[in-house]
């Protein structure tokens, strides 16, 4: 049951990160559009510079909000002194689930068709296809 909770929390964290990134992207786009409008209606170079400075400040604020949201959702939850949610404990090796087949046992078998073959050389097309 605990692993189900961890998976749910992981999905929630990922969704929150995506939402924060999307929100920041929208804010940055709105700031850019606003700057273009203000520059188009500006009559002096000072007004254009002010519009650009205003855009930079809004973009910076949006990025700060995004980074804070990402940090807030990445902090590991601590239960009984142990972090949960993919965060490891320093000096402790990660363990794998018991009884789960995680591969072929021959990592190169998926990439090399001749692993375990009795043929000493590659079997090609016999130069029939060139």
For residue 61, list its beta bridge partners. Answer: none
Cβ pair 38, 54 in contact under 8 A: yes
pLDDT given at position 44: 93
* Per-residue model confidence as pLDDT tens digits over 19-54: 888 999 999 999 999 999 999 999 999 999 999 999
Q: What is the pLDDT of residue 8?
A: 83
Whether the Cβ atoms of residue 39 and residue 48 lie closer than 8 Å to each other = yes
pLDDT for the residue 20: 87
Residue 82, phi then psi, degrees to nearest 5: -120, 130
The residues of the chain scoring below 70 in pLDDT are 1-2, 75-130
């Amino acid at each position: 049951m605990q692993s189900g909770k961890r998976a749910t929390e992981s999905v929630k964290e990922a969704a929150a990160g995506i939402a924060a990134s999307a929100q920041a992207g929208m804010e940055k786009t709105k700031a850019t559009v606003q700057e273009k409008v203000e520059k188009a209606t500006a009559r002096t170079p000072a007004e254009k510079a002010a519009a650009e400075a205003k855009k930079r400040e809004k973009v910076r604020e949006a990025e700060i909000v995004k980074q804070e949201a990402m940090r807030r959702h990445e902090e590991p939850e601590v239960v009984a002194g142990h972090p949960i949610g993919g965060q490891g404990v320093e000096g402790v090796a990660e363990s794998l689930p018991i009884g789960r087949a995680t591969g072929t046992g021959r990592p190169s078998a998926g990439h090399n068709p001749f692993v375990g073959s009795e043929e000493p050389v590659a079997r090609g097309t016999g130069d029939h296809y060139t």
